[in-house]
Each structure stands twice: as C-alpha cells, then as structure tokens.
Chains A and B, each alone.
Chain A
C-alpha cells in the first residue's frame, strides 16, 4: 500500500510529537491541506494554530525554540518562503534556532490554484540563506527518514514537500543522511540528476529509454550538497542533465552547473520550469505544459541523446 508524501508527513509528525514533547506543529491555517491537522487530531497539545500570518508564525517559532521546543512551521511553500523571508533570515537563520520550516505544495502541483500558489523559486531562495539546510525527499518513505534526521539534528532546516498524490514508494532504500545523495541507476552515456518530486517521474522515463546507458542520481538534500557523489557520477559520462519542478534558474540545475563548472567542466543540460508564470490547471496539464510529465521528460532526454551521441 502506498501513501502520499503529505499524508505521510502529517502522520509522521504526529508520531514525532507523541514521542517527543519538544516537537510542536505551527499551522498557518492550512492544516487540512498540508495534513498538519493530524497533529491536532492525534496529540494532546502539540498543535498551535497561528492563523493566516506567516511572518508572525516564523517569529513565534523562533521564540519557542529559544526556550527548548522544536517547532515545525508548515504552510504552502510559496507563502512560507516569500511572505516570511526576512523573518526566516533574521529570526531563524541568523539565530541558528532549531526551527523546521515545511513548505508543502511546492512546485506547480497545487490543486488547480494557479500562479499565486505555485512555488518555483523556493530552492533558490532557501539555499542562499546561510545556516539553512534544504531537503526535498523523493517519496513518502524518504520523507519519514528525512524527518527523523531533521528531528535529531538541531538548526534551521527547510523541508520541501509535494502535493503530488501519484508518487508511490519507489526508492529502493529508506536510508537517509542529511547531505548525502543516492545513485539510483548506473550508466555511461548520460547522468541525470534529480531531487524531490521529480525523481519518480524521471525514474519512470528512464525505464522507457532502453537504448541509452543512463545513470540516475537523486539528491534529497540540496544544501549541503553531496558534491563528491555528483563528481563521481559526472566523471563517467559525457553529458549531465538536471530535472526539477522548480524554475530553471536558481535550483538544482544551477547547483550542479556551479559545481561542475569549477570542478569538472562538462556540458550540463537543465530541464525545469521555464521563466514564466503558469495559470491554473490539472496536475497533468501543468506537467505537460512545463515539460515535466514522464512523456515530456522522456522526449527531452531522447532528443539530447540524438544530438550528442
């Protein structure tokens, strides 16, 4: 039986809160979307409703952390990372408080809500903040493992989650270490690098690209980034391709390009959301329009192979 990333997030945070009274959930009035409502249902008093006021919510979390709590602040990714950005920087990152920021509904898949709710710049924003760790798990199992690691490790962290309900438990092992990437398949033609919600769709596309030797690396931690694993994989191939449900600039593609340009100059091709706003639409329509459906990813990689090999 499979469970969605957000359902698993709510369920597991309730578990963490039951096991550790220091764990608190702060909601920006979206608990029944983000699944933070599980904590209210399953714990006595670990759930704090902060209303529709993200700036204050982040500040309150800093104050709670200052006297020993571990607040998990959850809202839609775009509201959390942009409406409360200065609060995240000054009250949380500069103080190094043990505050966990959870951006649910990241990327384009936000239940038909349109451009106001899309979060396509949060990796760019959060990875540029000093002291901030940035994590984007690939499936529900890895979400649990990532949350356990976050719970055990102090300091400001951002957890980027997807609302995509179609991702099954597909990652081969649930091992998770902050700052470590994973090699999912080995190959010699091209290395495909992915993170978060995109890893599953790319793994599906790779299965269908049988006439290429494709290596696939998944990086659930974007900061600190597992440079060694990337370099090890990149050394074996001629071309590196990044795929992400994030703007094409500032996200995984930029991280990979920066590392390779300095350490191992190599052609990097980035697949991501183009530099424009998208309207509302079904998940399928948006993935198709942004080039991130399994079919479109397969075509893009196929086209690259005919160009380069």
Chain B
C-alpha cells in the first residue's frame, strides 16, 4: 500500500485518535511517545515498507523493530489501521494473555519481528537481522525505531559500532528525538533533552546520517526514499525531531504524558483538537 502525502497526513491523524481512544479505553499506555512517532510509523507502514499484512511472515519483507518498545500502543494502532489486526482487537491492549502485550511480544503476534521492552536491545537484534540478510543475499532492509532517552543505554552504541564494522547499508535506524524521557533531569525550562548529539554520534560510528522534521510527512517520505536508494556500505541513521505528545497541545512537551491515559475531559478535548486538524 502506497498512500499519497495527503492520505498519509489523514492516516496519521486517525492513528493519533486510535492511540488516544485505546489509552482512554484501557486507562493506560505510553501516549506521549506513541504520538511523537505516529508520523514516522505512518510513513513506514503506509508508504515505505515492503510488507504484506495478509502474509506477516513473508520471508522477503522489510523488517521493523520497535526498540522503544514501550510505545507498543502506537505500533498496535498502526497495525490495526494497516489491516494486521482488527480495530476491535485494539481493545485488548495491555490485557492479560492478549496478543497486544504492554510491550511487543513476537511470540504472541505474528506481525512483530522482534520482542522488545527492555530498552537498548532492539537495535542489536536489527543489526543481527541486517547481517543475516547480507549473508543470505536477501534484498530486504531492516528498520529500527529507537528513542532518544533509550540512547542513554550503552548497548545502542555497541550495536552502532558493529553496524559500521559490518558495513550494514541495509540497516536504517530512526531516532524518535522527542526531547523527553520518563523523568530525566530538571533544568530551568522544565526537563533536559535526553539527547542532542544523535546525528554527530551516529556519524562517528560510520553511519550516513540525516536530520528531519519527524512530523513533516513530505520530509519523512523524501528522506526514506533517498535512504533506500543509497547502497554505499554505510548504515543509515535518520534523526527525526519530534514533539512528545504531538497533536494534543496540553500533552505536548510535558514529560508527565510519557505514560498516562487521558480522563474523560482530557479525552474529549484531545479528540476535538484532532478533529479540527483532520
């Protein structure tokens, strides 16, 4: 499925509504980070990735690893819109024995390429997939979405080091740089950014890097298209500048919304705001 830019923008708004309605219904979920990566998820799943919802284990599909596993809510809502699971099943999010575990569990849901939730681990698995694809001479790419807070884990940089060593130009790391983590460090303006040198750091590990507005659909599609066309022996990193809680003004840039569900009043306010946009 390849949607036009206009369709993608509409889909992103619908996705934000699904994220909020699911969190509201279940009274939990990591809303802030799910909203920050919503446009990235839409650009991948509705335009860019070579995937087939009717055959989730298709051998030659592009792989996607959500290393920032706590935003499973955003991924599940995306999978529902894309037809991997029913809209109805979203209501089982975070429920005992549900396929939609609080953090992605690949043993429960076919659509997931990796189980994550303990931060820092997904990128290593993505590196393994990319090495494996090269060994098997497979043409698929491996996409890994990491968080800026998550990048405080040393394992992210262990993985980056190996990606450079093995010249994994089939690996694309996207950092959802939303500028906040669960709690972090206090400063004069509220909270410090978890990471502000992501581009320079990935550069130093031998990556080809880009920095984009992670909420601008045109820019996301442009950069993903460019990234796909390059095979130069270097792994790739896209630093996507985003806003935590994007789309709902009172959730934006507020660390409190890292993991919090809206109450009745907040939910109506949020939906009204999104309706106006979409």
Residues of A contacting B174 in the complex (Cβ-Cβ under 8 angstroms): none
Judge whether B128 and A53 touch: CB under 8 Å. Answer: no
Judge whether A59 and B124 touch: CB under 8 Å. Answer: yes
CB distance from A62 to the nearest CB of B (A): 5
Judge whether A55 and B155 touch: CB under 8 Å. Answer: yes
B113 nearest CB neighbor, chain A only: A66
Judge whether A63 and B162 touch: CB under 8 Å. Answer: no
Judge whether B132 and A62 touch: CB under 8 Å. Answer: no
CB distance from A166 to the nearest CB of B (A): 36
Q: Which of A88-144 contact B (CB under 8 A)?
A: 89-91, 94-96
The winner among B113, B133, B155 for most chain A CB atoms within 10 A is: B155
Residues of A contacting B128 in the complex (Cβ-Cβ under 8 angstroms): 59-66, 71
- How far, in angstroms, from A91 to B126 measured CA to CA in the complex? 11
Judge whether B132 and A56 touch: CB under 8 Å. Answer: no
Among the listed stretches A44-52, A268-276, A283-291, which one makes contact with chain B, having 4 or more residues with CB under 8 Å of it?
A44-52
Asked if B118 is at the interface of the complex by the 8 Å CB criterion, the answer is yes
For the residues of A in contact with B, the DSSP-based class is helix
Asked if A67 is at the interface of the complex by the 8 Å CB criterion, the answer is yes
Judge whether B127 and A95 touch: CB under 8 Å. Answer: no
Q: Which of A60, A61, A94 contacts B115 (CB 8 A)?
A: A94
Q: How many residues of B contact A (CB 8 A)?
A: 34
Q: Which of A228-258 contact B (CB under 8 A)?
A: none
State whether A69 and B121 are in contact (beta carbons under 8 Å apart), knowing that A59-B127, A63-B114 are contacts in the complex. no
Judge whether B127 and A60 touch: CB under 8 Å. Answer: yes
- How far, in angstroms, from A94 to B104 measured CA to CA in the complex? 11
Judge whether A59 and B121 touch: CB under 8 Å. Answer: yes
Judge whether A90 and B118 touch: CB under 8 Å. Answer: yes
Q: Which of B105, B133, B135, B155 contacts A56 (CB 8 A)?
A: B155
Judge whether B124 and A56 touch: CB under 8 Å. Answer: yes
Interface string of B118-153 (1 = CB under 8 A from A): 101111111111111101101000000000000000
The winner among A53, A56, A69, A91 for most chain B CB atoms within 10 A is: A56
Interface residue ranges, A against B (CB under 8 Å)? 45, 48, 50-51, 53, 55-69, 71, 86-87, 89-91, 94-96
Query: 3 shortest A-B CB distances, which residue pairs?
Result: A63-B128, A59-B124, A56-B158
Given contacts A63-B132, A90-B115, A94-B115, 8 further A-B contacts (CB under 8 A): A55-B155, A55-B158, A56-B155, A60-B124, A62-B114, A66-B114, A90-B117, A91-B124
Can you pick out 6 interface pairs between chain A and chain B where the beta carbons lie within 8 Å of each other?
A: A55-B154, A60-B162, A62-B125, A65-B128, A69-B132, A90-B116
